[in-house]
Amino acid sequence: MGITDDSASGKDQVLSPWQIEALIAKGQSIVIVDQKVLRVDTWLPYHPGGHKPIQHFIGKDATNEFMVMHSAETRQQIDRYQIGRIKGRWRNFVPPIQGGQIWEKGEKTPQTDVDGLNNIHEHHACLEGLPQLSHERNTPEELAFLNAQTKEEISLTLDQYPPLDTPTQSNIIEKYRLLYEQIHSEGLYECHYTAYLWELGRCGLLFAIMLFFLHIEWYCISAIFLGWFWSQLVFSAHDAAHMAITHDFFIDNLIGMIIAAPIGGLSLGWWKRTHNVHHLVTNSPEHDPDNQHLPFLAVNHRFLGSLFSTYHERLMPYTALAKRLVPYQAYLYYPLLMFGRFNLYVQSWLYLAYGQGPRKGLAWWHRYFEIVGNLIFWAWFGYGIVYRSLPTAGIRFLYVLISHAVTMPLHVQFTLSHFAMSTADLGPGESFPQRMLRTTMDVDCPEWLDWVHGGLQFQAIHHLFPRVPRHNLRRVQKLVLAFCREVGIPYALYGFVGGNRKVVGSLAEVGRQAAILGECRRVVAGRIRRPHRH
């Protein structure tokens, strides 16, 4: 199919779905933003958030996601990658990284057969498009059980949320963009810097108290205040990583890296690499790295079937260790999170050692800054406090353990907003705002406790508008509530205790399913070992 008669050459040429699919089939990275067809292959090595987020939008309209994740300056630069435009509403392809089959131009396929797609009832399409599990590691009985669980999850989800037909989802997108404009017009993207003066004062006080108790040799109390100091700092690092403080790429990243590396011993670059993917494919077992915690936790039954992680680019096997731990994960959840910070150290150093961040563009120097910063951290904490200021090996061990264990509520806050929410894949027809509200919950708390939660209690709001400064999220919540009522999307809001109860209950249910599968395996193994009688 050629270019339409009313098209022009170059950037103004109108490209058909078949032409765009042919470009993708040749290995080109094609994304749609504001009706513009962008070829972003040359941008991939420079993207500060890594190449994975872009890969999840190849063949898709990324207008909403691009709008809320990037600054106005970045949005103005996309024209350099434009190779054409589209007419009308774009029907998303399934990106190759998510298993989409992309074909050369001229072959009629499910991706470009628009007439056929329009005649498919989206609910049935979702029920048939189940994720592929490892047939090598699962028996037919196990696959049947897991697929039945997936179908039930999708069916229940579809019953609770607006239908996926084009008019309904288009209306949600239209209302969402009006909401975005309203938030801008009310000045809610403007940061109140005085709020960060209070943050700085609170963190400084916690650090001073830690030093005081260290000086008078009350080591356990000192360790507790050090852990609280780290926890409070994370909130500001999170804000800076989303460029929600100054909205300036250099300044916000510098603030975030100073907090993360020399003060916290972590890598902001590693966090951004995983977190950007998390924001775009939230709660997807196959794609969201924040959900992939085997062998210790399986937040969804699909992890019991050895899924392939597109983020880590490897199979996540349901190993013998996982089979022993997952049935009891509801009891292990809080103890495991007490060691969460140690995992962050490991992931940060792996990211820096292997140079997994961008090596070109504005962020080329971040890796070296963070390596030096982490060495500074281990100099003041590892050598200055743990080795020089503590008298014995036993006290050193206890100090490190306590200072890290008291950060556990922070890790609970990270997981609370997602672990009990929907993980179903409803296909590329679901709008961005509906997907964010379906996969994320908010935690209700009085305003005077906002400093304890650090803005993470507004995760659903934050996922809709990641660059809104944290201290404005409570006002945005009221606007989002009105939006949800207007478009008919349920807004998940739980108290802190109720949210924890829901998460633990969800983990217990997956643990129960793991126990059922374990019993099935024992029965099948018994049949195999039992000699046949003739």
**Contact yes or no for 228/406 (Cβ under 8 A):** yes
Residues 258 and 350 in one domain: yes
363-373 tens-digit pLDDT: 999 999 999 99
Dihedral sign (CA 175, 180, 181, 183): positive
510 falls within a domain: no
162-178 tens-digit pLDDT: 999 999 999 999 999 99
Query: Rounded to the nearest 5 degrees, what angle is found at the Cα of 151, between the Cα atoms of 148 and 152?
Result: 85
465-496 tens-digit pLDDT: 999 999 999 999 999 999 999 999 999 999 99
35 phi/psi in degrees, rounded to 5: 70, 0
Quote the pLDDT of residue 274: 93
**Which domain covers residue 259, as residue numbers?**
171-487
User: What is d(CA 191, CA 242) in angstroms, rounded to the nearest whole number?
Assistant: 13
User: What is d(CA 147, CA 132) in angstroms, rounded to the nearest whole number?
Assistant: 9
Per-residue pLDDT band for 137 (boundaries 50, 70, 90) equals: low
User: What is d(CA 424, CA 387) in angstroms, rounded to the nearest whole number?
Assistant: 48
Residues 96 and 179 in one domain: no
76 falls within a domain: yes
Residues 375 and 265 in one domain: yes
The number of distinct structural domains making up the chain is 2
Residues 6+ apart with CB under 8 A from 378: 265
User: What is d(CA 122, CA 128) in angstroms, rounded to the nearest whole number?
Assistant: 10
**Contact yes or no for 473/446 (Cβ under 8 A):** no
Choosing from 100, 118, 150, the residue where a domain stops is 100
**Contact yes or no for 93/111 (Cβ under 8 A):** yes
Quote the pLDDT of residue 127: 44
pLDDT at 129 over 80: no
80-113 tens-digit pLDDT: 999 999 998 899 999 999 888 766 554 545 455 4
141 falls within a domain: no
Residues 385 and 471 in one domain: yes
**Contact yes or no for 254/48 (Cβ under 8 A):** no
Residues 6+ apart with CB under 8 A from 226: 207, 210, 385, 403
| Lowest-confidence segment of 88-92, 180-184, 270-274 by average pLDDT | 88-92
C-alpha distances (whole Å) from 209 to each of 197, 219, 461 are 18, 12, 34
**Contact yes or no for 273/375 (Cβ under 8 A):** no
Dihedral sign (CA 215, 221, 225, 226): positive
User: What is d(CA 198, CA 56) in angstroms, rounded to the nearest whole number?
Assistant: 39
Beta-carbon neighbour count of residue 313 at 10 Å?
9
Tokens of 129: 């498009």
Quote the pLDDT of residue 522: 72
Beta-carbon neighbour count of residue 503 at 10 Å?
23
Dihedral sign (CA 289, 294, 298, 300): positive
Residues 271 and 374 in one domain: yes
69 falls within a domain: yes
> Mean of the pLDDT values across residues 6-24?
80
109-120 tens-digit pLDDT: 545 544 333 333
**Contact yes or no for 406/227 (Cβ under 8 A):** yes
The CATH number assigned to the domain holding 26 equals: 3.10.120.10
Using a 10 angstrom Cβ sphere, with 0-12 exposed, 13-18 middle and 19 or more buried, the burial of residue 171 is middle
> Mean of the pLDDT values across residues 286-293?
93
Choosing from 40, 75, 100, the residue where a domain stops is 100
399 falls within a domain: yes
394 falls within a domain: yes
C-alpha distances (whole Å) from 480 to each of 279, 392, 458, 464, 469 are 18, 54, 11, 9, 15
Task: Name residue 307's beta-bridge partners.
Answer: 316
pLDDT at 133 over 60: no
316-358 tens-digit pLDDT: 999 999 999 999 999 999 999 999 999 999 999 999 999 998 8
Choosing from 52, 70, 100, the residue where a domain stops is 100
Per-residue pLDDT band for 527 (boundaries 50, 70, 90) equals: low
| Lowest-confidence segment of 80-84, 254-258, 400-404 by average pLDDT | 80-84
Q: Of 303, 281, 282, whose CA–CA distance to 292 is shortest? A: 303
Chain centroid offset of residue 256 CA: 18
Amino acid letter, 401: L
Quote the pLDDT of residue 434: 96
**Contact yes or no for 134/302 (Cβ under 8 A):** no
> Mean of the pLDDT values across residues 127-145?
58
Query: What percentage of residues in the chain have a pLDDT greater than 70?
Result: 89
pLDDT at 198 over 60: yes
Residues 87 and 188 in one domain: no
Residues 209 and 350 in one domain: yes
Better-predicted residue by pLDDT, 519 or 184? 184
57 falls within a domain: yes
User: What is d(CA 518, CA 529) in angstroms, rounded to the nearest whole number?
Assistant: 17
Per-residue pLDDT band for 124 (boundaries 50, 70, 90) equals: very low
Quote the pLDDT of residue 307: 87
Quote the pLDDT of residue 315: 92
Quote the pLDDT of residue 119: 32
Per-residue pLDDT band for 10 (boundaries 50, 70, 90) equals: confident
Q: For the chain, first and last CA: distance in Å?
A: 65
Beta-carbon neighbour count of residue 468 at 10 Å?
26
The SS3 assignment for 187 reads coil
Residues of 50-69 as b/e, b for ≥16 C-beta within 10 angstroms?
Answer: bbbbbbbbbbbbbbbbbbbb
509 falls within a domain: no
Residues 270 and 394 in one domain: yes
Dihedral sign (CA 290, 264, 54, 173): positive
429-456 tens-digit pLDDT: 999 999 999 999 999 999 999 999 999 9
